[in-house]
Chains A and B, each alone.
Chain A
Amino acid sequence: MTGLRAAVALQLRIVAADRGYLNEVLANPFFAVIFLGIVRGAGRDDLTAHAVVAPVLITLWGMALEISGDIVDSDRGAGILEGVVATPVGFPTVVSGRVLAVTALSFVGIAETWLVARFGFGADVTVHHPAALAATLVVTGLATAGTAIVMAAVFVLARTARTFQNTMNYPVYLLAGVIVPLSLLPGWLRPAGRALFLSWSADLLRESLSPAPMSDVLPRLGIILLLGAVGLMVGRVALHVVLRRVRVRGTLAFR
C-alpha cells in the first residue's frame, strides 16, 4: 500500500511538472464540441446524453493509454526503468498507482464536458440517477487502472510503445460504443464490445442521464469491476512473464 501511495504521489508530481500529460484533458472540450455539434446540429437534442458521455470516457481511456505507454517509454528513455523494476515494490503496483493518479485527474473531463454543453450549446444535462452515475464512475475508474496494467505489459514488450498506443484508442471507442450503442453496430462486433468494460460503463452512464428507470444496475456494475479485475490479474501475470523474459534476454532497457 505504501508503494501504491508513493506511485500516486510520484505521478501527481510528474503531471505538475510536465503538462503534456494533461493533453487528454485538454482534448475533452474539443470532443464535447464535436459530439454536441453533431447531434444538436442535426436537431437530435434527445441524443445529448450520448454526446456528453462520450468525451468523458474518451478522456478517461485516453489518459490511461497515454500514461501506461508513457511510464514504460519515458522511464526507458530516462534510463530508470531497470531501477524501477529492481525495486522491492512490484512494477505492476507502480504502474497501478501511477495510472490511478491520472484516472482521478481525468474526471476533470466531466466538468469540462458539462461546461461546454451548458455554455456552448445551452444544453441542460440533468442527472436523473445520481447514485448510479457516481457508482459507475468509481468502478469505471478502478477498471481503467486495472486494465492499464495489460497495456503496460505490452508496452514493455513492444518495440516502441507509441506505435501500439496510437492504435488503441479509436478501435476501443468504436467497439465499446462510447457514443454509438453496441446495438447499432454489426452483430458480429457486439461480443467483442461486451468484453470491454467501457461498453457497460457507457450504457450505465447514458441511462443515468435519462429519466427512464434503470434496471440491473448492481449486476452491471459488478461486470465492470469483474472485467477490471480480470484485466488487473491478466496484466500482473503478463507483466511478470514479460519482465522475466526481457530481464533474461537483457532487453529491458532497449527499444
Chain B
Amino acid sequence: MSGVAHVARVLRHAARSGFSDFGNTYTVWSWAFGLLLRMLTQVAFFTSIGRLLDSEAHVEFLFVGNAVAAAAVGCLTATTATVWERRAGTLPLLVASPTSPLVVLMGRSTFFIANGLAFSVGALVLVPPLFDVEIPMARFPALLALVVLMAVTTYFLATFLGGLVLRTPSAARTVPQVARLTIMAFCGVSVPRSVFPEAVSRLAGFLPVTHGLDAVRELLGEGRPGAVLTGAGLELLVGAGWLVASLVTFRRLAEAGRRDGSIVFSAA
C-alpha cells in the first residue's frame, strides 16, 4: 500500500470513529438546542450591536463576519482532541503506533469541520430575517466554498495548537479559548482591521479567517473575482503554513512527551 493510500485509509477510519464519538456525545436535540442555538445567539448578539450603532452597514458587517467565522471558531475545539485521547487512555497507544498520531488525531477531529460548517450555514440561513440582512443567493455557493476554506485553515491551526496542548494539558481549556477570541477580536470578524495599529493588522494576516473573510466581504460587496481569489489564495497559504507547522512540531512534541512520561501521567 502506498504512503498516500495508507494515510487516506487511516484518516478514513479515524474520521468514522470521530463521527461515531460525536454521535454518542450529542443527540440531535442536544446538538440543535445546545451547540447550534448557542452559536446562532452568538451571531445574533454581535449582529445586534449594529442596531445599537443605528447603522445598517454595521449590522451587515457584524452579521457576515460572525456568521462566517462561526465555522472557523467551531473548528478550534479540535485543539483539545489530545486531551480526550489522554482521558480515554488511548493517547500512549496512538503515540506508540507506527502510524503518525497526528494523522489519526486529524481524522478523529474532522467532525469539527462538519460541525462548524453546520453552524455557519445555520447562521447564514436563519439569522438574516431577524436583522433584515440579505445574502444574494447567486453568491451562496461561492460563499460556502470560502467558509469551507476558512474552516479547514482554522482546523490546521487547531491541530498545531493541539500539539502544544499535548505538552501542556493544563492549558487545554485556555489555548482554544485564547485562539478563538484572538480571531474574533483581530481578524476582522467584528472590528475592521483598520481600527488597530498596522503591526496588529499585519500579524492578524498570519492567522486563519483574516484573508478568507476579506474574500467573503469582497464577494458580497463589489464581487471583483480577482480580489476574491487573492483573498482565498492567501487564506489557503496561511492554512498550508499551519499544516506544515503541525507536521513539523507534532512528532517532536509527542516524542518529548514519551521521554518524560507526560504522555500518560499528566493532569488534563
Binding site for B on A (CB under 8 A): 18-20, 23, 26-27, 30-31, 33-35, 37-42, 44, 47, 50, 159-160, 163-164, 166-167, 169-171, 173-174, 179-181, 184-185
Contact = CB atoms under 8 A, between A and B. Distances in A.
B227 to A, nearest CB: 22
Contacts of B195: 37, 40-41
A164 B184 CA distance: 23
B140 interface: no
B51 interface: yes
Most buried by A among B26, B30, B62: B30
Interface string B168-192: 0011111001100110111000111
22 contacts: A20-B170, A20-B171, A20-B173, A33-B186, A34-B184, A34-B191, A35-B49, A37-B190, A37-B191, A37-B196, A38-B49, A38-B190, A39-B53, A41-B192, A163-B35, A166-B35, A167-B37, A169-B38, A170-B42, A171-B37, A179-B52, A184-B48
B185 A34 contact: yes
Given A38-B191, A174-B45, A163 B26 contact: yes
B191 A33 contact: yes
Interface string B33-66: 1110110011011001101110100100010000
Given A33-B185, A170-B44, A184-B48, 5 more contacts: A18-B170, A19-B174, A33-B186, A38-B58, A41-B191
A69 to B, nearest CB: 12
Q: Please classify how large the interface on chain B is, using the bins under 10, 10 to 19, 20 to 34, 35 or more.
A: 35 or more
Interface of B: 25-26, 30, 33-35, 37-38, 41-42, 44-45, 48-49, 51-53, 55, 58, 62, 170-174, 177-178, 181-182, 184-186, 190-192, 194-196
B182 A30 contact: yes
A22 to B, nearest CB: 8
Contact of B177 (A27, A47, A171): A27
A171 B43 CA distance: 10
A34 B52 CA distance: 14
Contact of A174 (B30, B44, B55, B172): B44
A227 B186 CA distance: 37
Contacts of B45: 170, 173-174
A166 B52 contact: no
Contacts of B58: 38, 42
Contacts of B181: 27, 30-31
Main secondary structure of the interface of A (DSSP, over half): helix
B35 A42 contact: no
A35 B62 CA distance: 11
A37 B141 CA distance: 31
Nearest to A162: B34
Nearest to A66: B173
Nearest to B57: A42
A16 to B, nearest CB: 13
Contacts of A171: 37-38, 41
Most buried by A among B42, B178, B181: B181
Contacts of A170: 38, 41-42, 44-45
B34 A167 contact: yes
A42 B173 CA distance: 33
A37 B170 contact: no
A185 B191 contact: no
Contact of A42 (B34, B42, B53): B53
A26 B172 CA distance: 14
Nearest to A171: B41
B48 A174 contact: yes
